[in-house]
Structure 1
Amino acid sequence: MFIEMEQLRSRLNKFDLLENYLDNGEKGEFVAFFRELFTVEVPLFSEEEGRWCELELFSRLSAFFLSYINRRRLLEELDSSTIQAEKMLSPDEHAGWNEMIDYFCELGAVLADYNGQQQIERTHEMIAKVHDYIHQFLHEELSLTKLAELVYLSPPYFSRLYKQMTGQGLLSYINKTRINKAKLLLKTTDRKIHEIASEIGLESAPYFTRLFRKRTGFTPQEYRDSSKSW
């Protein structure tokens, strides 16, 4: 596959797209696009011209990855043997064009994979924060907007993210938590049905009864009565 010098230079201007893939933890997309941009199967130019082209490409790739790692303070987070800094800083560490491309491609894959794992961990932390809030303020109105504000996300995005990570909708989790709390109160207290409804954040006792029956197969009173015989 032959590509002209100017075409190669135009591809060097697409680092912003590569950076987006890295930031989003999209390892597969990064590798595919990087290979599309820079993999060659045969020498591009004469030996001398090819060497200068290789040096130009190396300097641009080296600067891109070095800047990326420094700006995001990743050097201390990643295994130095994985980064192999000498290969990032010296073109003489590579036997040729393809070996150089392989190194930078693998480096990008490592960075994207790390970012992806960090995003997952941050998402789990956000979900845990929201769950804690739900349990603490179950008696209050728990709107999607209010919960999304806790983790500084838009309501639609947080709703999609929550379902993607947990396999259930946010409202489903809230209702399950409310019913579990109601079960406990029905078994351990003599509070009236409408008082329990209010305590779990449902002002309407009839709605609480419908929701409880839907979730358990019993009305709240039937559940209370049956629990006394356990």
Structure 2
Amino acid sequence: MDSSFKASQALEPPSRSAYPKLIDGGTYMYSYIIVDDEPLIRRGMLKKLQAFDQDITFAGEADNGIDAIELIKQANPDIIFTDMRMPEMDGKSFLRVLQLDFPEKKIIVVSGYTDFEYMQEAISAKVVGYLLKPFSREEIHDTLRKAIALIDQEHANQQKFETTEAENEGVKYHSDLQTLSNIALGFYSKNKAPELISDISNRLLNAQSFFVVTAYASDKSHHELAGRFLTQNCRSCLYLKHAHNEQLSLLLFYFSQDEDTHIVAQLASTYFQASGANITQDLFIGISQAQTTLIELHQAYEQSISALNDRPIHDTSHIYSFYDQHSELAVPDWEKTDELLFHVEAGNIQKVEELLSEYFTFLTEIPLITLSSIKRCSQKLIQEVRWVLSEYFDSIMKNSSSASFDSVMEASFEIDTIRSYFLHVLPNIAEIFKEKKIYGSQNLIDNVKTYIQKNYRKELTLEKISSLFFINPSYCSYLFKEKTGENFIDYVNSVRIDNAKLMLKNSEEKVYKIAKSLGFNNPKYFFRVFKKLTGRTPEEYRMM
């Protein structure tokens, strides 16, 4: 397994065998050599070339082809001026060697002979020019300009080709990253083999184990910095952007052999450090178990999300693995849930905000509570709110889920985000109910009766009702008896038994289950009350 980190390296510059040296101003310094067996000819040629009006460097001279080849290897010139008649290796043989071993060099033949044989060899070697001795300064300068123009054109063409190739590979690479992200997020068919088109495919197809690490950061700028660091420095990691949540990013770790979570945790800690985050900043990392195929990346992603959700909110660490998940925590019911729902329905916005603050304080004070437990409690509360809404809005089904809530929960990995959602949504719902004036009667007992008729399934005590309507329990009991002619508990039982009769006639549900659903915790008490008010047992009533 190669999981080492390396320093970021710059791209190597083009070889001098291919391009001249780049100097200040973006121009190129060209170099040349002179090959001729006559020193006076070499000296005269050098004098003419030194008067050239462009940057060009004399790189050396040789008096025969063999020495010239060694000089070319050492000096790596761009342009070669050569005679055709030389000792050791004549011009014809020299041109053939250049054509075979140094095809990129620009050759200018200088000769005192006009034999067709030499001209033919020069043409075959694709020389830039053929100068006949004696030649003028202008002639050699014109030929040199032609050679430089050819070098510049080839250089431009090569740069264009490399740029196009790099752009094409870049497009393929980012396309593959998108494909891998889609697989991880579940937007890719499980029955379809991943189709990767860039060079990255070779590395991934040879991998034996894959891990998905999902990182959450409240500040999304952490992801760009850390993702860039890891992809440049970690040979076994790919940085994948999340398609819908800028606060999430995915890291795909792949290894050529089986690895465990611990090595990935070490690499993930480097992500944390590279992000610039510190212990006061909210950045959390969830690690999946090892998977053996790319198509299993979605399972790995879900495991990494599960690891994030299983985070104890009071924990000071930032890296969690699916392997280390905690056991399910039993969270006690919040005793003020019904009070909160009542004030939502009553349109009491201020009281809703106060109770929500108490609710989240209650949750955060539970030792070892995890983010997933808070999400489950929140799910239960929002379902209770939707139940209330369904009583007044036909578009909302009693047991239906909330797409907006589910979306927020899926993307939330901090309790503050969940708290903000409730503090935004529930007061808005209370604002809607405020216009309905459900408990807007001037008669207090009418409002109490409305509440009982709507909430007969819940625990209903005189103390609870008195608290909701801000009155003394004794006075509430007295006032209820005076206005209705019956005791509070008798009225509650009559409402429940009326609904029990409907359920007995319209369903085949067992009697004890009906009793429990109506708020009777003791089935025997339900039987006694039912017979008292109807003169029959529940079974007898059902058979009528």
Mark the structure with the bigger radius of gyration. 2
State the TM-score bracket (shorter-chain normalisation): 0.3 to 0.5
Q: Identify the structure with the greater strand proportion.
A: 2
Q: Identify the structure with the greater helix proportion.
A: 1
TM (norm. structure 2) is 0.22
TM (norm. structure 1) is 0.43
